[in-house]
Structure 1
């Protein structure tokens, strides 16, 4: 994509320079702009379109798991959890867009992007068969739904039954699992089968897990994250690759207001050309069920190419008391979480999943103080995009997200009687992508 654009630009500049000399030098930026806009179109037969469908940028995702090193003390003595980060477990991501339709009137193209994850043992810290002690996410989900949904008249009968089932199936707050079980392979939560049978006498339990199986990315390998419709840029280059709809909807169904349900921006790999430092860039994340906003931080050179680094501001994670715009992201308006985290319960089947930056970077000190072993570091844990302003191409990016489980003490359940309320990190991931440019193209970028 870039090579074709730059070659055309170079030819145009050379021709104009030979004919007009220095008189028309001031016209070069306009010529460059026009040539870029001609090429940045998602149209059949263009290099841009082919590279957009079959993405040439290598991408990897690194998973880090939080191993709980004091499971007994935490479960039985009200101790703070002590965690040790293990990893990374690295996967290469092969991405391909499957185009399923076009709308010429709206200048849009519709597609599914299929991501395939391939384990890379040579650049991983260990094997996927290693065992770790982690917070029991399914247990917390069951307890949360039972506490919230079971009517008061039924609770005295149902909760003892649930408590005995948890003990029978050895579903404790901390469990020992293989890395592969926590990531893509998943593991069966056998308790759910008996729970559904037993609970049917009292109340209908909503489906908690697909196939009664839990894994952070279970069922997501070689699958699509939904159907996207984006603008081609043909009639308006400023809308190039911006999302029009997701799953044929212009608004999400998860949050309590139209504002929070807005779908803004691109998928994060490309932005419209001629981005400026003053702009706010938006990226829609299906993992976080919302759009992220990025603001300019500083200039960064990538092999001599000037790019603008955009990062997620602290206000994005702020609690509603500090940023009222975030009020509609609370599932319970009376007890919103503190700043630095994103509650995902409403879009994760009621599961008590909370997202944050790794090691609670930019989060409330409360979360950091309640867990021993975390060390937030901007260099290691910040999410950023390095955008080449002329083309809007992301030449370097790090997407870093931590998934935490909101653990609550539940006196009615023996497995949850001797713990404190705490937000325990389960894992964090870093998606890494960096555009590999030939030396000849780098030289041209430097001169533009």
Structure 2
């Protein structure tokens, strides 16, 4: 059944995920925006949420390659707001970092030469001021997440910047929202192995967007596409195995290590989590250096700069509240409190089948704010990785799915094991009895009294036979005599 082909349980559950899947968003509301702008005060944030959405995934099959043992598809994701599981409505107003403004200033600093910068930056600052663009914006949660809000400045800025540099299309329709345009959409065409040519490759990603490797990073190693999409894994997992997951959110492959044994609705599972090494400081762990946007100026532990795969936008990913991150990122902003149980990413996997029984992917999106001379609001601020939101994408099998697994896998295996053990025990008992009987007769055979008795018995039997044969009228009596 561990084969992605029509009619198998694996294919059915893979194509349309049957378990409840939720996406929860937490927004970092800045409580002292004007003190930060005017007095360069330390930012204070308050986490608001969760804002919960029911997530539905459905795979649209594009083609099958039976010779290669792969299937090509795109996965459509739909998000539906769940008011009952949310902190409040999406109409609550919050102050958040002005990501478009910071992105524009950062791009200008990076692309302008030293000669042009003194000319362009005052013009940019004046333009930002005329549009009343400040370091923080006051928007609804709805606008920050899916609905988005228009940034009129971008149209004029594009025309202004043309003589100096090209501005790539960062925001579709000049509209910013963390998940703007992502509802009822997919993130590219995948090709994965079906397992028909060996379960060791089951569900592993072969290509993404028709490419077998990425082009965002600085080495072949960092650009490798490894693992599955995280929903299932090849069977027969061992505690020493490393689970690889390819995630387009981070434009790279991640890995998780075994942490502990656990149970999910009565089913034994292995818990795998992301180790500290995954986002270790590139200055300490050189394996991570090729993930630096600028290898000569790497960020510290716990974060990864996504500039190269976000069209130059200063987006930085991390664990929620900078979990497993450098202390300087955690202490730069008041209101940041990393907690392992609440903020770590984990997978609970059934080791025999490789099925994921319980999972939580937790990720924080930040904006890298750099001090920018000549730009009001950015000229006095300290370089800071500023949190915008963090999200938790989670799924856990329900009772019906757990019972189905137990009936189809666990109970038959336990029954088979019980029958096998019973057969072994029963066979062992008969063997012991047979050996005991054999040993008894062997022992008796070596006993002198037993030998005398056996001899007397044989002599007595022979004498009786002779007497019968010598009796009168016997046809052989004369011969015997």
Q: Report the CA distance shift for 1:413/1:221 in structure 2 as closer, same or farther (over 3 A).
A: same
| 1-structure distance, mates of 2:85, 2:267 | 28
Give the one of 71, 86, 89 matched to 1:124. 86
Aligned to 2:96: 134
Bigger CA drift: 146-155 or 303-312? 146-155
Give the one of 295, 299, 323 matched to 2:285. 323
What aligned pairs does 1:105-116 form with structure 2 within 5 A after superposition?
A: 105-116=67-78
SS in 2 for 1:379: helix
Q: Quote the offset at 1:180 in angstroms.
A: 0.9
Is 1:166–1:415's contact at 8 Å kept on the other side of the alignment? no
Aligned to 2:418: none
Aligned to 1:40: 2
What aligned pairs does 1:303-318 form with structure 2 within 5 A after superposition?
A: 303-318=265-280
Give the one of 312, 334, 353 matched to 1:391. 353
Q: Quote the offset at 1:412 in angstroms.
A: 1.7
Q: Which has the higher contact order (CA 8 A, sep 6+)?
A: 1
Q: Quote the offset at 1:245 in angstroms.
A: 0.4
| 2-structure distance, mates of 1:211, 1:354 | 23
RMSD in angstroms over aligned alpha carbons? Answer: 1.2
Does 2:35 align with 1:62?
no
Aligned to 2:154: 192
What's the TM-score, normalizing by structure 2?
Answer: 0.83
| 1-structure distance, mates of 2:167, 2:59 | 37
SS in 2 for 1:56: coil
Q: Quote the offset at 1:51 in angstroms.
A: 2.2
Q: Quote the offset at 1:438 in angstroms.
A: 4.5
Aligned to 1:173: 135
Aligned to 2:262: 300
Is 1:311–1:382's contact at 8 Å kept on the other side of the alignment? yes
SS in 1 for 2:187: strand
How big is each residue's C-alpha offset from its partner over 1:115-142, in whole Å with a ceiling of 9 and x where there is no partner? 0000001110011111100011111110
Q: Report the CA distance shift for 1:438/1:301 in structure 2 as closer, same or farther (over 3 A).
A: closer
| 2-structure distance, mates of 1:240, 1:442 | 22
Give the one of 425, 432, 442 matched to 2:406. 442
Does 2:409 align with 1:433?
no
How big is each residue's C-alpha offset from its partner over 1:99-121, in whole Å with a ceiling of 9 and x where there is no partner? 00111111000000000000001
Give the one of 250, 272, 285 matched to 2:212. 250
What aligned pairs does 1:391-410 form with structure 2 within 5 A after superposition?
A: 391-410=353-372
| 1-structure distance, mates of 2:383, 2:150 | 26
Is 2:27–2:389's contact at 8 Å kept on the other side of the alignment? yes
Aligned to 1:5: none
| 1-structure distance, mates of 2:161, 2:295 | 29
How big is each residue's C-alpha offset from its partner over 1:250-309, in whole Å with a ceiling of 9 and x where there is no partner? 111100111000000000010011111110000000000001100000001112211000
Q: How many residue pairs end up in the alignment?
A: 410
Give the one of 298, 303, 311 matched to 1:336. 298
Aligned to 1:159: 121
5+ long unaligned stretches in structure 2? 415-481
Of the two, which has the highest radius of gyration? 2
Aligned to 1:233: 195
Does 2:271 align with 1:271?
no
Does 2:178 align with 1:209?
no
Aligned to 1:18: none
Q: Quote the offset at 1:442 in angstroms.
A: 3.5
| 2-structure distance, mates of 1:231, 1:440 | 25
Is 2:265–2:402's contact at 8 Å kept on the other side of the alignment? no
Aligned to 1:86: 48
Is 1:115–1:224's contact at 8 Å kept on the other side of the alignment? yes
Q: Quote the offset at 1:441 in angstroms.
A: 4.0
How big is each residue's C-alpha offset from its partner over 1:405-442, in whole Å with a ceiling of 9 and x where there is no partner? 11111112123122111111100000110012243643
Is 1:163–1:415's contact at 8 Å kept on the other side of the alignment? no
Aligned to 1:33: none
| 2-structure distance, mates of 1:60, 1:320 | 33
